[in-house]
Amino acid sequence: MEIYFDNGATTQPTEQVVQKMTEVLTEAYGNPSSLHRKGQEAERYVVEARKTIAEALHVPVETIYFTSGATESSNTALLGVAARAGKKRHILAAKGEHPATGDTLKRLAEQGFEIEYLDLDPCGRVRLESLKEKIRPDTLLVTCMHVNNETGIIHPIDQMGIVIHEAAPDCVFHVDAVQSFGKLPIDPVGWHIDLMSTSAHKIHGPKGIGFLYIRKGLYLPPLLTGGGQERRFRSGTENVPGIAGFGQAVKEAYEDMAGHASHMQGLKALLYQSLSEQIEGVSVNGAPIEETAPHVLNLYIQDVRSEVLLHTLEDYGIYISSGSACASNKPEEKSPALSALGLDAKAIDSSIRVSFSRYNTREEVLEFVRVMTQVVPMLRRFKRR
Ligand code: PLP
């Protein structure tokens, strides 16, 4: 039996996604820029996927630009805004961002931009008061993720957009929506989002494809130049199989988004309740589970090293992720989100992330809990020796 609880890292493409991509790879393999029928056939897949995405978000089709994923989208967004900054040098960001944003901000700091961090509440959410206090007439950009990939915390993007729009109407608002797109409702226009990054592989689509939403009327210079694809904004022959697969994944994600969310929320509640009843020293990192994204659960497991637990579970065919993504001893490098919550390196090393998809089941959750009741006491005995 294989239990895949690492859907925050990536998800399994659905059968229809694979079918759609296979169709493109085997039949509609033309280059969308070619003028002949084979090219037009491929182009139709790109047009259809863009339409599906635009309709899901209630935005015009021409605001969606396909990229190689959220890393490219966020780099294009942040570096592009910086390139046309003029005299404005002030950037506001949330602590605990994914490195696609965090490391790009470090590059901008090296170029002389002033990066200031917004305060978080004790649960790790951006405090709106802090945004109101820190935003200035010379604030160039505010960047914040919608759902944190490690903790599932939901930042108040809708309200942040209103604050930014009222306090500094020219300030650009970028949102990393990788962990929320297709899982929670998003309204880029109503929420005053200017730029938004996504990746297909978090919603049962393929890897290496995403899009950048660019609000109508906002000019952004391209990061990649060349053949002039994507209306001269993102050069490079289109990843047509990836785009078609992404469109299909969006269609399926939006078919019953609320139903999928409540299913995953139910799994999360069952897992946490059963685990904390049966094992002592288990607690949630971040906000109460009812307040976080349905698919993410971040747990502190006292006296257990998460990396050892991860590999032990692997032997049972169970896949989760550990709190720490690298060997560094600095909390902020180990885990940007958990260190933003104030956890020290030791607590981060005892934290795990369990992340669900709509295809996980209650039986899988109960089996996970059963295995945990066997392995956690064993690992604790080992650690205490
Ligand atoms: N932002 C968040 C919140 C993520 O979870 C990820 C992926 O883990 C990314 C950005 C980067 O996405 P990709 O690796 O698909 O470019």
Q: Calculate how far, in angstroms, residue 72's C-alpha sits from the geometric centre of ligand 1.
A: 10
Report whether 338 contacts 323 (CB < 8 A). Answer: yes
Pocket test for ligand 1, best of 71, 104, 298 (most atoms within 8 A of CB): 71
The pLDDT value given to residue 325 = 58
Q: What's the 3-state SS for 14-76?
A: CHHHHHHHHHHHHCCCCCCCCCCHHHHHHHHHHHHHHHHHHHHHCCCHHHEEEECCHHHHHHH
Q: What's the confidence (pLDDT) of residue 382?
A: 73
Helix (H, G, I), strand (E, B) or coil at 254: helix
pLDDT at 324: 57
Beta strand pairing status for 296-301 and 282-284?
antiparallel
Question: Please, which residues bridge with residue 159 across strands?
Answer: none
Q: Ligand 1 pocket test: pick from 7, 74, 98 the residue with the most ligand atoms within 8 Å of its Cβ.
A: 98
From CA 328, how far away is CA 334, in angstroms rounded? 6
Phi-psi region of 135 (alpha: psi -120 to 50; beta: other; left: phi over 0): beta
For the stretch 259-313, pLDDT in tens is: 999 999 999 999 999 999 999 999 999 999 999 999 999 999 999 999 999 999 9
Distance 334 CA to ligand 1 centre (A): 16
Ranges of the chain with pLDDT below 70? 323-329, 383-385
Q: Nearest 5 degrees, angle CA 173-CA 110-CA 334?
A: 80
Cβ(53)–Cβ(209) below 8 Å: no
- End-to-end, the C-alpha distance of the chain in Å comes to 32
Q: Is 352 helix (H, G, I), strand (E, B) or coil?
A: strand
CA of residue 375 to ligand 1 center, whole Å: 31
pLDDT, residue 1, reads: 84
| Residue whose CA is at the smallest distance from ligand 1 atom 8 | 9
Q: What is the pLDDT of residue 328?
A: 66
Residues 191 and 145: their CA atoms lie apart, in Å, by 14
Q: Would you tell me the crossing angle of helices 70-83 and 99-110 to the nearest 10 degrees?
A: 30
Per-position DSSP letters for 153-219, written without gaps between them: -B--HHHHHHHHHHH-TTSEEEEE-TTTTTTS---TTTTT-SEEEEEGGGGTS-SS-EEEEE-TT--
Ligand 1: centre distance to CA 67 (Å) = 13
Phi and psi at residue 40, to the nearest 5°? -65, -35
What's the pLDDT score for residue 336? 87
CB 183 within 8 A of CB 373: no
C-alpha 322 – ligand 1 centre gap (Å) = 16
Distance CA 120, CA 376 (A): 32
With a CB cutoff of 8 Å and minimum separation 6, the contacts of 122 are: none
SS3 content of the chain, % helix, strand, coil (to 5): 45, 15, 40
Residue 263 and residue 183 in contact, taking contact as beta carbons nearer than 8 Å: no
| Ligand 1, CB within 6 Å, residue ranges | 69-71, 98, 100, 145, 149, 176, 178-179, 199, 201
| Annotated catalytic residue 123 | no
The predicted structure's pLDDT at residue 383: 63
Q: Other CB atoms closer than 10 Å to residue 196's CB: what's the count?
A: 31
Mapped to the 3 state alphabet, what secondary structure does 311-339 carry? HHHHHCCEECEECCCCCCCCHHHHCHHHH
Taking the CA of residue 200 as reference, the ligand 1 atom at the shortest distance is 15
Q: Residue with the nearest Cα to atom 5 of ligand 1? A: 149
What is the pLDDT, as a whole number, of residue 333? Answer: 77
Q: Tell the residue nearest (CA) to atom 10 of ligand 1.
A: 70
What's the confidence (pLDDT) of residue 189? 98
Per-residue model confidence (pLDDT) at position 235: 97
Contacts of 126 (CB under 8 A, 6+ apart): 94, 118, 119, 120, 144, 155, 156, 160
Tell me, what DSSP letter sits at residue 341? T
324 with 349: CB under 8 angstroms?
A: yes
